[in-house]
Amino acid sequence: MEKVVFSVAGRRFDVELDDAFAQYIKQDLFDNNVVSNRDSEPTKLLQLYLKAMKKNFDNEEQIKTFMVNNGLNNEGKTL
């Protein structure tokens, strides 16, 4: 487990994440110019959250399309 630190509106949040996921989060924050040891704008973090949710939504849609195109049900079994 690895700690990731966020500071928002003067409040500090320490979050323990699995190592690989923590590295992914740190890289994503860095790529989006969010510095973990400085106070972050709530608007910026909300934008990043919505970006992540859009990516998740798109991935789920691709999975559904793949399953329909390959005749699979929700459990991955052939219809």
Q: Are 11 and 42 in contact (CB under 8 A)?
A: no
Burial call 46-71: b when 16+ CB within 10 Å, e when fewer = eebeeeeeeeeeeeeeeeeeeeeeee
Predicted pLDDT at 9: 87
Q: Are 8 and 42 in contact (CB under 8 A)?
A: yes
Domain boundaries, the chain: 1-40, 41-79
Over the stretch 7-52, which tens digit does the pLDDT of each residue have?
888 899 999 999 999 999 999 999 998 887 789 889 999 999 999 9
CB atoms within 10 A of CB 15: 12
- Is the overall model pTM greater than 0.85, yes or no? no
